[in-house]
A and B are shown apart, each in its own frame.
Chain A
């Protein structure tokens, strides 16, 4: 009995450690962002203090945060829309039609998902330079749509497979054409899966650094690049740096919580349903 209680306590303690391990870096960032400047570098760190927004107002006043935010929202949203439209129709094609290539092409997309992106960045940069698309939103939108396609396709293959084909066949026997069936029957059924996939695709555009670094110019930089500009010339203004980080992560945290049911699927290309 005693042994059992001790084991229970030990387990609770270990769980607490695991939770602290995950949360402390985040807590540290948010608390630094909210700390008044004079407490920022006090050792040992002050835990209780009067929170202030001075770091945030300074961030908005002195850095191009809003420009980067605007770029990132445009790029990530258009990427999501494009890759979802193209990817979902490709996945529908793979799950509903038989034709030469319908077996092998999904595997081709799986290999594409595994491709290291840095392999593509050089030729892609040269291509965009030749087309005069450097420093445009379009260059990043095209790149990110290409990258998220394999992911979207594999997620949606899983969701489409869960819908019994008989439903569609019955509607088509009743005279509905394929597009009507798709719009009225299939899409409403996969809507939750589509929404989860959309969030993952959006996060790709939100989080990606390498391509943004190479392709974006002064007017089109994205939020993932913001930390980089700080470490070079503003190394010491930690309060403001952490305020920037907190703002970049805020939507990510909200999204993460909203798709938790689908995380595993997303992270394993549908291999693990979770």
Chain B
């Protein structure tokens, strides 16, 4: 009886004291600062994710929202067997691998070229990084004009090498994807260029001088000294660019809209068409989730790498 009494009288002031201690603690202030942003993230990003996970197991047409019913994993089965999905995955991978590796090589060359001091270097660097900022849909528009059969600048240039200047680059199945890739290369090579340049400038010149005194050529220095030292940075740059190329939508939407046929229908384009032209929310969500799982694997790899880098820095 007396114990119970003590507990009951102690309990509320005790809890109040704990609460009071908590509200004065650093953890509480921490949560207070973090709270609003966490709520927004949960509402804007996590809720839609959960919603689409549920929708991906349903028969759900946008036009008939009242006829939703569960179909289990049927949508996923459809996705992994659909030729159009395999086609899209193939095109997305091709787009990503070709674009990112060429951007890397070009960015590395630009950086090597502009690493040493020279006249006008400030203004030249500004010009070289500009494409990265430009509104992607406007970049798409510029290139539609550059590729325009008859009098587009690219066509006039190709004409010098004997190509018919009336050839519709963007409307031919064999040239559409390379043309779209070229736009991505133009737009985002500056990213690789800037990362590589920053890396090269952080390497102390003595290392390269030492190699040069030992008789190494510039090429040997680049290959055997500079690139190995830049390796962590290169990995980060490739991952970030890879993820962004993987979800590219804006320029492709402008240039080809996924066509001709499905020649440039990358995965983001396929999900868009499924959901907003065919109105099949269930299948579109299943496509989204298959991709999401793939991207998660990559991004966890990236996060680990980044953490290692920050620890060593």
Q: Give the docked Cα–Cα distance between A118 and B237 (Å).
A: 22
A154 to chain B, nearest CB (A): 10
Contact A149 B145 (CB under 8 A): no
Confirm or deny: B37 has a beta carbon within 8 angstroms of a beta carbon on chain A.
yes
Select one of A116, A153, A264 contacting B37, CB under 8 A: A153
**Residues in B whose Cβ lies below 8 Å from that of A241:** 141, 145
Q: Give the docked Cα–Cα distance between A1 and B154 (Å).
A: 39
Contact B141 A231 (CB under 8 A): yes
Select one of A115, A227, A253, A268 contacting B236, CB under 8 A: A268
B303 to chain A, nearest CB (A): 5
Decide: A255 near B133, CB < 8 A? Known: A41-B151, A227-B254, A228-B254.
yes
Contact A252 B133 (CB under 8 A): yes
The contact string, 1 if C-beta is below 8 Å from chain A, for chain B 292-313, is 1001101110110011011000
**Residues in B whose Cβ lies below 8 Å from that of A147:** 44
A107 closest partner in B (C-beta):
B303
**Residues in B whose Cβ lies below 8 Å from that of A21:** 186
**Residues in B whose Cβ lies below 8 Å from that of A153:** 37
A114 closest partner in B (C-beta):
B299
Confirm or deny: A2 has a beta carbon within 8 angstroms of a beta carbon on chain B.
no
**Residues in A whose Cβ lies below 8 Å from that of B306:** 110, 269, 271
The contact string, 1 if C-beta is below 8 Å from chain B, for chain A 93-125, is 110111110100101011110111111111111
Stretch of B69-77, B173-181, B281-289 contacting A (4+ beta carbons < 8 Å) = B281-289
Which B residues between 150 and 168 are near A, CB-CB below 8 angstroms?
150-151, 153, 156
The contact string, 1 if C-beta is below 8 Å from chain B, for chain A 42-80, is 111100000000000000000000000000000000000
Quick one: which of B33, B233, B268 has the most chain A CB within 10 A?
A: B33
**Residues in B whose Cβ lies below 8 Å from that of A272:** 195, 198-199, 233, 236
**Residues in B whose Cβ lies below 8 Å from that of A22:** 127-128, 130-131, 186, 190
A181 to chain B, nearest CB (A): 12
Select one of B27, B51, B126, B267 contacting A127, CB under 8 A: B51
Confirm or deny: A165 has a beta carbon within 8 angstroms of a beta carbon on chain B.
no
B214 to chain A, nearest CB (A): 20
Question: DSSP class of B's interface residues: helix, strand, loop or mixed?
Answer: helix
Select one of B51, B233, B272 contacting A123, CB under 8 A: B51
Contact B26 A97 (CB under 8 A): yes
Count of A residues near B, CB < 8 Å?
A: 98
Q: Give the docked Cα–Cα distance between A123 and B4 (Å).
A: 53
Contact B195 A94 (CB under 8 A): no
Decide: A97 near B27, CB < 8 A? Known: A127-B51, A252-B134.
yes
Decide: A98 near B49, CB < 8 A? Known: A32-B145, A86-B36, A248-B135.
no
Select one of A19, A97, A123, A231 contacting B285, CB under 8 A: A123
Select one of B33, B140, B142 contacting A92, CB under 8 A: B33
Count of B residues near A, CB < 8 Å?
A: 95
A102 closest partner in B (C-beta):
B30
A16 to chain B, nearest CB (A): 9
B39 closest partner in A (C-beta):
A86
Contact B249 A230 (CB under 8 A): no
Confirm or deny: B45 has a beta carbon within 8 angstroms of a beta carbon on chain A.
yes
Q: Give the docked Cα–Cα distance between A209 and B136 (Å).
A: 8
**Residues in B whose Cβ lies below 8 Å from that of A248:** 135, 138
**Residues in A whose Cβ lies below 8 Å from that of B26:** 97-99
Q: Give the docked Cα–Cα distance between A42 and B156 (Å).
A: 12
Confirm or deny: A224 has a beta carbon within 8 angstroms of a beta carbon on chain B.
yes
B223 to chain A, nearest CB (A): 18
Confirm or deny: B95 has a beta carbon within 8 angstroms of a beta carbon on chain A.
no
**Residues in B whose Cβ lies below 8 Å from that of A42:** 151
Decide: A267 near B37, CB < 8 A? Known: A43-B151, A118-B249, A124-B48.
no
Partner-A contacts on B (CB < 8 A): 26-27, 29-34, 36-38, 40-41, 43-45, 47-49, 51-52, 55, 110, 113-114, 118, 124-146, 150-151, 153, 156, 186, 190-191, 194-195, 198-199, 233, 236-237, 240, 243, 246-247, 249-250, 253-254, 267-268, 271-272, 275-276, 281, 284-285, 288-289, 291-292, 295-296, 298-300, 302-303, 306-307, 309-310
List 20 A-B pairs, Cβ < 8 Å: A18-B110, A22-B127, A26-B131, A90-B37, A99-B26, A111-B299, A111-B303, A114-B298, A116-B268, A116-B288, A118-B249, A118-B267, A127-B48, A142-B44, A149-B40, A207-B137, A238-B145, A245-B142, A252-B133, A274-B194
What are the 10 tightest A-B residue pairs by CB atom distance, in nearest-first order? A146-B44, A97-B30, A93-B33, A123-B48, A114-B299, A99-B27, A116-B247, A227-B141, A90-B37, A256-B133
Partner-B contacts on A (CB < 8 A): 11, 14-15, 18-19, 21-26, 28-29, 32, 41-45, 86-87, 89-90, 92-94, 96-100, 102, 105, 107, 109-112, 114-127, 142-143, 145-147, 149-150, 153, 178, 203, 206-210, 213-214, 223-228, 230-231, 238, 241-242, 245, 248-249, 252-253, 255-257, 260, 263-264, 267-269, 271-274
